[in-house]
Amino acid sequence: MTAGNDAGNGVSTLLDQAGDVRTGEELDIQRIDTFLKTHIEGLIGLPTVQQFPGGASNLTYLLQYPQRSLILRRPPFGHRAKSAHDMLREARIMSAVKPVYPYVPTVLATCEDRAVMDCDFYVMEQIRGIIPRQNLPTGLNLSESQTRQLCINVIDRMIELHQVDYRKAGLEGLGRGGGYVVRQIEGWSDRYRKAKTPDVGDFEQVMAFLKDKMPQQDVATCLIHNDFRFDNVVLNPDNPVEVIGVLDWELATLGDPLMDLGNTLAYWVQADDDDDYQSVRRQPTNAPGMMSRQEVIEYYGSKTGWQVDNFDFYLIYGLFRLAVIVQQIYFRYFNGDTKNKAFANFGFISRMLEKRCLRLIDASRL
Is the model's pLDDT at 5 over the cut of 90?
Answer: no
Is the model's pLDDT at 54 over the cut of 70?
Answer: no
d(CA 68, CA 234) in angstroms, rounded, equals 19
d(CA 299, CA 311) in angstroms, rounded, equals 13
Q: Do residue 198 and residue 75 come from a single domain?
A: no
Q: Do residue 102 and residue 227 come from a single domain?
A: no
**Higher-scoring residue by pLDDT: 338, 212:** 212
Q: Do residue 247 and residue 283 come from a single domain?
A: yes
Name the pLDDT band for 80 (thresholds 50, 70, 90): low
149: CATH: 3.90.1200.10
Q: Do residue 82 and residue 154 come from a single domain?
A: no
Q: What is the mean pLDDT of the chain?
A: 92
Q: Do residue 219 and residue 323 come from a single domain?
A: yes
- pLDDT at position 16 is 82
d(CA 90, CA 99) in angstroms, rounded, equals 15
Packing angle of the helix pair 180-195, 312-334 (nearest 10 deg): 30
Mean per-residue pLDDT, 303-317 = 97
- Provide the number of structural domains found in the chain: 2
Q: Do residue 220 and residue 353 come from a single domain?
A: yes
Is the model's pLDDT at 11 over the cut of 60?
Answer: no
- pLDDT at position 57 is 73
108-145 exposure pattern, b = at least 16 Cβ within 10 A, e = fewer: bbbbeeeebbeebbbbbebbbbbbbbeebbeebebeee
Last-in-domain residue among 76, 94, 125: 125
Q: Do residue 268 and residue 320 come from a single domain?
A: yes
Q: Which helix (H) or strand (E) holds 35?
A: helix 29-37
Residue 315 lies in a domain: yes
Q: Do residue 184 and residue 325 come from a single domain?
A: yes
Q: Do residue 199 and residue 271 come from a single domain?
A: yes
- pLDDT at position 365 is 85
Q: Which helix (H) or strand (E) holds 352?
A: helix 346-363
Mean per-residue pLDDT, 29-35 = 97
The residue among 30, 318, 325 whose CA lies nearest residue 181 is: 318
d(CA 11, CA 9) in angstroms, rounded, equals 7
Q: Which domain holds residue 177?
A: 144-363
pTM of the model: 0.90
Packing angle of the helix pair 257-266, 144-162 (nearest 10 deg): 150
Is the model's pLDDT at 55 over the cut of 60?
Answer: no
Residue 89 lies in a domain: yes
- pLDDT at position 287 is 97
Q: Do residue 213 and residue 64 come from a single domain?
A: no
Mean per-residue pLDDT, 5-33 = 77
